[in-house]
Chain A
Amino acid sequence: MEGFESGLTWEVRANDRKHHKQMKSFLCFRWGRYADNLVRSYKYSPLTFLPLTLFEQFQRAAYLYFLLMVVMQSVPDISSVPFYITIFPLLIVLSVRGLKDLANDMARRRSDSEINSRPCDVLDSQSFNRAQWKDVCVGDVLRIHKDQVIPADLLVLCSSEPHSLCYVETADIDGECNLKFRQALSATHNQLTSHPSEETLAAFDGVVLCEEPNNRLYTFRGQMHWRGESLLLDNEHILLRGTVLRNTDFAYGLTIYTGADSKVLRNCGKLRVKRTRMERVFNQVVIGIVLSVLLAALLLAIGAGVFSSWVMSHIGPTSALVINGNPVYTGFLIFWSYIILLSPAMPIALYISFEVIHMVHSLFIGWDMEMYWQQANRPAQARNTSLNEELGQVGYLLSDKTGTLTQNRLLFRQCCIAGEVYGDASSKAEDTEPMDLSWNPFSCGGLFMSAPSLVQKLRGQQCPISCQFLRALSVCHTVMAIWKEEAPVYQAASPDEEALVGAARELGWVFLSRTRDFIVVSELGVTREYRLLALLDFTSHRRRMSVLVREPEGGLKLYCKGADLVILERLQKDCLHQERTERALELFSQACLRTLCVAVRSVPEASWEQWSKTLDQSATMVTSDRDALLEKLYDQMEIDLQLIGVTAIEDRLQEGVHETIALLQQAGIKVWVLTGDKKETAVNIGYSCKLLDPDTRLLEWQELKQILQSPDPGVTFFKARQTELWAVDKQAAEAKTALVLTGPELAEFDQKPEWGATFMRLAEQCQSVLCCRVTPGQKADIVSLVRKHTRSITMSIGDGANDVNMIKTAHVGVGLAGVEGGQAVQNADFALSQFRFLQRLLLVHGRWSYRRISFFLRYFLFKTCSFALVHIWFGFFNGFSAQSLYETWFIALYSLFYTAFPIMCLAFFEQDVNAESSLKWPELYRSGQRQELSSPLILISSLLYAVYSSLVFFFIPFGVFHNTAYDFQTMAVTVAMAATFTANAEISLVTRYWTRWNVAAVCVSVVLFFICSRVTQSTRLFKASPMDYFFLGASERAFIDPLVWLTALLTTWTAVLPSMTALAINVILNMHDKHKVHSASSQPVELRSRLTRGASLRRSSYALSQGAGPGRLISSGTCIRSTVLTVNEQVTADNNSTDSQLQINMKNNIDAPNHT
């Protein structure tokens, strides 16, 4: 078949379930070519839970190691320590973790089944039956109702709307809230809507050939073979899973991709287990410890072999104990015994404590009042409880724009009419005094502008130019009005237009409805009909749109609105108010408002007639240069404009966005914006949220590509930055540069992987990077790029389903819950309600967590190694016999009772500076990024410290007890006492924040040592089990012996002396550092050159999600149904339909990003 040659190998036969349900099966496993529509994000089934969870857990090398220890400890010949010392903690850890995983999995299962059981209507021979999402199968015909989420990727067959248009909201896919339209093929539209739909749909037997399932959201290639015809399909005919049908009563679709094959799920990325970097470093250290233990054990075993051969050469009481008389075999057994004896150097308690600490830190995040958002009644939430310390090390923050930085609410804040500025944008939108608009029956709020003088002027009809301004706003647009409850509801492809038309409504110029030829506007209660003669549509190149209308009075008017630059160059000479208006433009752009110029022209009848003739001619042309021709023609009409005014729209930022970004940048975090939105919008937002400074130079793709291609990118980049800035602003000593990229440009990185490293090197020197029009997959690719080429921790933040992939890819993913909880939150590691909470999450919780966990790991290494390594030194004085220097119970209780509480308290409560100071001095955050507290060097130094302490633990008591009448048990108690004292003294040195819990913990630990020692060495327990409690009476005597106390005291002090000295030297040197921090906090006022704010810095933007506006649909009348079409019109409409079809196809050719 021809389809195979062009790569269209995915065959879908409508209404043919059998074909698609062919399954291969083997045992209980089944697979087929076509996935079913089930979402499975869970991992376990009742049968597989136990093996899987054990498998997963034992993938941690540490657990395997402990298991090995347990096994070895139960072999009597080598057991130097009884087995119950390890097995109970191990069992506890395994079951706690297992239960935690199980609970998480249950939650996933619930959410899966919630999604899988959503209802939808499936055509089942002649009639639609209510079924669940999971029952949907490739080839099924579905009926989608208004506001329903689409369950699978569908081909639109027909809809309730004229021309089988349907509108979808793709917020969950690309984060854009405006509506997009999709349309059925004219063939299916004509054939399937003309008859009662169930029967015709059931009889539909088209065969679709298309691409294999892929993750490209914006393209689709396919063919439909039906009734001998072969029709081309593209993205415009596809409804994607996860989008929502809007403004369309119902639509019928043929299922193309289901479940895991659907484009959204293909974009989701894999669920991966995130491990923190510190955990990895720590695991390496643990492996190092294990290897050292093995080495030590080996050397000691050799010693044991030599010793036993020496013993055997003599006759003595011990010689008979050397097993079998073979030194090699003895050495072999001793090797294992020493491994067991030294294993407490890496205790299992570490892993339990690590988890508990992470959990408590996560709870603290959830408990933080400052991160609780009253409006949504939602506290912050740590969904992944094992990443807390990474929050303190973030180097790159990759943020989504819509819904994350912005609220996706556009507000009409100011305007300038005839040089007069109305409204005040310096105050917050909420603080503006609401105007009294009760005279306007259509007013329904939402205007955050206080300009009573304007209202007065308008109502008094004293100022014709103001009226004209509002008329322009209410007429010149492509918005549709839908009547709901006696009021028009506006549906716009561009949120800007919606804001403008809405503002006009509030001020009395109410756009009521539009038909193909008329626009009906109520002007201060007077209904006027404007005949729409031509709609000169928006394109990203023209950056303006106009309407040509005949006024009820008969005059011809052209209303035009567009970007300031393009409008200003088309004005009449000596236009009134131009100078003042330009000043207003500057004012608005300084307030980071999006501006549009509004202009008008009275068109002479004669020129209109001539122009319209040429227009008709060129409109019928079907050549490729038609667009160019049209553009030229439009240009001819849009001349001699008369400037009326300027609108200023605020793209509402989330609260506190620019403070947060400024703070994070001070903390050394690079903030990047990744958005599916247009470049202009993204750059505008970049400026308004202070991510870019007004004098930041934007480096775009053309230049960047040159730099990347040049042999020495660094130099070229530097030069480019330098020279340009030299020209623009000679005073800018420090160059500020930002990169701006778009999705298709990023796609080129796939072919040139070597660019990645260079790009990242450049990006590191830039203030920020903005990536626009990127797909969810690309967002994730960017995150991977950063991860690959830097050693920094990356954090992604987003709110929509389009951010899920990047949230999963980054080291740490944050989901914004926003107004409604979304998909992002489901997949995020942390869920916040507001972007500004990020500063607290990172600078306070993250930094604390990082410090606490760093201290925790270092201290834990120290306390366990120092106490366990003593056995190495003792080995030299007991014939390398793997004799323990401690009572068995001391080994068991040491890491549990005698040392655990203080470090846990430290890990819970420690603060070097309080939350306020953390936010005040964001520079403090940098120590986390540089890993100052957790570098391998630091960990190794604490290991060396532990080795030193273990030497002290052994050799000072050795010196004291050598050649005396003191017995082994007294020495054991002395060393144990010294070890406990040291562990508690060391934690006291580390603790800087002594809550009463910390004090209690240290006291309790020491007291517990005395109590537990007395208990395990008591008569009663000895009588119960002499073998296990054989230290009877040792501590009873030792604790009253001054020599024991003096020895323990000296040992403790000597052991902590290095730490004490380091602390003291730190204190002495730190006076200097503290001074630095203080001076750094008062940064010099940034010098911003006002001069550079020239006209070129004005930011005018007209945001539309797609390249061209929907004007053509309006002018062709395809999407208008608010008025009943006459028979004649219907005919014309039908005739036009082929035309519009064509136009749409052409448009797609322009729009579709080329993903080859």
Chain B
Amino acid sequence: MVKEEKEIANRPDNTAFTQQRLPAWQPMLSAGIVIPGFVLIGLAFIGIGVALFVTSRSITVLEIDYTGIEKDSACFKCSNADVKNCVCNLVFSIDSLFEGPVFFYYGLSNYFQNYRKYAASRDDEQLSGDLDAFTAPSDSCSPYDYNSNDQPIVPCGAIANSMFNDTFVLYRVVNGANKLVPLDGKGIAWWTDYNVKFRNPSVTPLKNAFNNTVKPIFWPKPAYQLDASDPANNGFINQDFLVWMRRAALPDFRKLYRRITDGEYAKGLPAGNYSLTIAYNYPVESFDGRKKVVFSNVSWMGGKNEFLGIAYLVVGSLCVLMSIVMLIVYAKFKFPEED
């Protein structure tokens, strides 16, 4: 008995796995499945494409360039970098009701927020409120870590330093008088950024935390004075700062500035004339950039995006087209004698 056991000791296990007989589904594809499959998928894509396209069409977008390169532009006078504290007025009109909620963006182009060195030029420790990093910013911030007097810059780094600092005030022109349109700047940043990623040091008043540090070279005001109207909206958790710190993917981008949701404007901007007062601070001429303001409402798919709808339509039609080609090929092969 023992001998017998030994004799088959090396015998391989007879299992489905070892014998490579695992039960398996072997899809038997045929032209009868493939061609209708292509048609169906193509049609589905066309369907999605149409839906996206229609949705996108229903979104209203008002985009105004205010860089001021052109001489007839309202902000032409400000485009010269030597002019300080320049303010320009942009007047525009809306023909019909601009349905709300209206989102107010500023847009920059040819601006490489995704440049690797630029992107790395920040100190996450510092931005999460670590006081040690206030006195000794990380090397990654270089050359925006210390000023010429060797004082640490807070917030350090290129991203923070280059923060967009144009400000906008929107008026509705009613009977020749400017009526302020209230802009809502709350909750325009990501929840995680506001609550986790960026923290102010737990020092009150906030100003004390910034002792022995200097503001970024480019900034007119230190971080703890970013929003004079709301003391809570200062320091690293200032909404505009957070929006800016969330880098754009591509050189042409928009960033949310404000939402128009209050009172009489909750339903949107009524038809009429508007005046936008711009505190023109941010120089873009040096890098051939453009600045613009964008008013837009949103749908379930976000802002206006015609590309996606068209792309779906194109790919969907391509599939249908291909299925027709396949059908022809199939017919030729199936009935070769007719050839």
Contact = CB atoms under 8 A, between A and B. Distances in A.
A binds B: yes
Interface of A: 80, 311, 314-318, 320-323, 337, 364, 366-369, 372, 374, 377-379, 848, 877-879, 881-884, 909, 911, 914-915, 956, 958-972, 992-998, 1019, 1022-1023, 1026-1027, 1030, 1032-1033, 1036-1037, 1041-1043, 1046-1047, 1050, 1053-1054, 1057, 1060-1061, 1063-1065, 1067-1069, 1071-1072
Given A368-B12, A883-B119, A1032-B197, A968 B256 contact: no
B13 A367 contact: yes
Given A80-B116, A314-B287, A1071-B31, A1053 B41 contact: yes
Interface in B108-130: 109, 112-119, 121, 124-125, 128
Interface in B214-241: 218
Interface in B156-177: 158, 161-162
A311 B38 CA distance: 48
Q: Lowest 10 CB-CB distances: which A-B pairs, in order?
A: A1033-B192, A317-B162, A1026-B124, A367-B18, A971-B249, A881-B116, A883-B116, A321-B117, A314-B286, A968-B249
Interface residues of B, number: 90
A379 B12 contact: yes
B1 interface: no
16 contacts: A80-B116, A366-B12, A369-B12, A959-B307, A962-B252, A964-B305, A965-B255, A965-B303, A968-B119, A994-B27, A995-B24, A1022-B196, A1032-B192, A1064-B37, A1064-B326, A1068-B34
B274 to A, nearest CB: 21
Given A369-B14, A369-B19, A992-B26, A1043 B305 contact: yes
Contacts of B256: 965
Contacts of A964: 253-254, 302-303, 305
A315 B288 CA distance: 11
A1052 B231 CA distance: 47
Among B7, B119, B121, the one with the most A-chain Cβ atoms within 10 Å of its Cβ is B119
A1068 B326 contact: yes
Nearest to A370: B19
- Secondary structure at chain B's binding surface: helix, strand, loop or mixed? mixed
B91 interface: no
A877 B116 CA distance: 11
A884 B311 CA distance: 25
B250 interface: yes
Contacts of A993: 24, 26
Contact of B10 (A320, A372, A959, A996): A372
Contacts of A1042: 300-302
A968 B311 contact: no
Contacts of B319: 1057
Contacts, number: 241
Contacts of B125: 1026
A1067 B334 CA distance: 12
- Secondary structure at chain A's binding surface: helix, strand, loop or mixed? helix
Given A377-B10, A1068-B34, 5 more contacts: A964-B305, A965-B253, A965-B254, A972-B249, A1026-B125
Interface string B136-163: 0000000110000000000000100110
Interface string B4-18: 001111111110001
Contact of A317 (B8, B14, B23, B161): B161
A321 B115 contact: yes
A911 B25 CA distance: 11
B305 A960 contact: yes
Interface string B288-300: 1000000000001
B134 interface: no
Interface in B169-220: 190-193, 196-197, 218
B75 to A, nearest CB: 19
A878 B114 contact: yes
A961 B249 contact: yes
Given A962-B250, A965-B105, A321 B158 contact: yes
B197 to A, nearest CB: 5
A462 B196 CA distance: 113
A1032 B303 CA distance: 23
B329 interface: yes
Contact of B192 (A878, A909, A958, A1036): A1036
B41 A1050 contact: no
A963 B20 contact: no
B158 A915 contact: no
Contacts of A314: 286-288
Contacts of B197: 1022, 1026, 1032-1033
Among B14, B125, B249, B256, the one with the most A-chain Cβ atoms within 10 Å of its Cβ is B249
Given A364-B18, A877-B250, A379 B11 contact: yes
Contacts of B311: 956, 959-960, 1050, 1054
B251 interface: yes
Contacts of B252: 962-963
B250 A961 contact: yes
B34 A997 contact: no
Contacts of A378: 10
Nearest to A993: B24
Nearest to A845: B20
Nearest to A876: B251
B253 A1064 contact: no
Contacts of B109: 963
Given A992-B26, A1071-B30, A968 B10 contact: no
A966 B124 contact: no
Interface string B314-339: 01001100100010011001100000
A497 to B, nearest CB: 36
Nearest to A1030: B124
